[in-house]
Structure 1
Amino acid sequence: MPAVDSHAHAFDLQRQGWGSDRGFDIQPNEMGTADQFLHMLACHGFTHGVLINPLGGYGADNTYMLEAIAASAGRLKGVALLPDGTAEAELRRMKEGGIVGIRFNLDFPTSPPLLGEAGQRALARAREMGWVIQVHYHHGDSLVAALPVLRAAGLPVIIDHSGRPDLEQGLEQPGFRALLELGRSTDATIKLSGLFRMTRSGSPYADTDPFVAALIEAFTLDRCIWGSDWPFLRARERTDFAPLLAALARTVPEAADRERVLWTNPARLFGFTA
């Protein structure tokens, strides 16, 4: 079956140097090119992937991502950062080049903002382009503050990395409860990714299972997608693709349900065809 890894990053210093506006540095062990990513996907039976501009490394410059998508024969698409004031011609180039959405990092000061007038301009341009908006944050309070804007955006909303709950605070922590309510009351999508960022016990990430189960219940399997987060930037410990995929099989045990998460849903959101 076709399958999409809906969250990965790619870097190639021979193609593009680091950006002066980068949010953080990429370490040598975190490097991975688009060709290496495609090979890794093929090794695990995946057919497609979504590259995400993480703000680290290249900053808001999406050049290498666009090059990688163009060379992928339809196997890759991208979610970019959109600086305020981006020219209309560049927007068209991004859309034609396989960019399907823009990302907001709520807790990075150097990220293009979601809130305020600049955020409203970015959302208007996303509507014009027919893009999704993807939201990443480290603290649940950041989501709570952004909820009015997300609910009013009139765009498909994707929440990254399972909402990054603090497992020690349990299922009732306010930010996670707000995320679950977003899932129940809107058509937002949750990305079942980032388990290695949440876990306290490490692989096989069993301590994240109750949180993933709550997300699946709130968003339903029709609004869940999965991503590896390869090549695992800023991971606290060694992380690999297969254990993360095994954790998905544990929490979504039926093959037909995993097909929805790995193909049907991301193909609809990002415009992939088999």
Structure 2
Amino acid sequence: MNTNEILRPEPVHAVPDTGPYHRGGWLVALLSLLVTLVAVATASLVWRHHSAFVWIPVLVFGLPAFRGWWCVWKAWRDRSPLPRSHSVLAGTLGFDLSCTSCGVAATTFFLHDKVPVGGVTRLMVFFENYASRQRLVQVRILRHPGLGLAEKTKLRLHLSAGQAAVYELPLRAAPDLAPGHHLLPVVIQVNRPNGRGVRLPGARRHLGNLRRFRYAAPFEVTPLPATPEHAADTISSPLPSPAFLTLASVDEPYPRLEVLQKIIADAGER
């Protein structure tokens, strides 16, 4: 499934963006100070020898310094109240997270990761936006004919500030797929369509930052069907539709863990 349509998790939560649009803080202030000193020193040197060209260092160094100080001032001036993150992935579900991309944590795996020939499994892709502004997530699921993916699947998913969600993609192991261990590559990249924002209170700290996530979700195919007497019916039965579901939103007091319980119940026993 390839679509340019932006998918929003159900139910939709229209949480407004808060926090500074640009990055501020002590690091930007330090860089702005260094560039300001370089601009002053360079302009003074050029003025002594070639005063007609003094505008060059002003443009090259002065404008970036001015923009840096402007971002610092805007971030310092911002006093927007910030909602508290539920920290579902790292806290409630206990996923071992080490990095985010633009403030979004992500992980993916199969439910179940052991599937019989002709059986159905589900690719689960979890997201949580730890930032105070919305994010746009681009997901690429690479082709795997053995799972019915004849071409690369591209998705565009929307996450509101502080929102946690899961994308569920049912897949069927082809009858001719060789038993054994297999991998499904998944690439996740996050964009900031409406500014940077800040990390929400309650979100996990000290996470590294990646430009994109690259996963290889493992699964195992077993040679025996789950129910031999109904193997033909299982292979011919239609797959459930993909779903993009909200797990938590900052405008609700508690995470929606019943969503995961329903997914696990629908997936059945291993």
Query: TM-score scaled by structure 2?
Result: 0.20
Query: TM-score scaled by structure 1?
Result: 0.20
Higher relative contact order (CA 8 A, sep 6+): 2
In proportion to residue count, which structure has more strand? 2
In proportion to residue count, which structure has more helix? 1
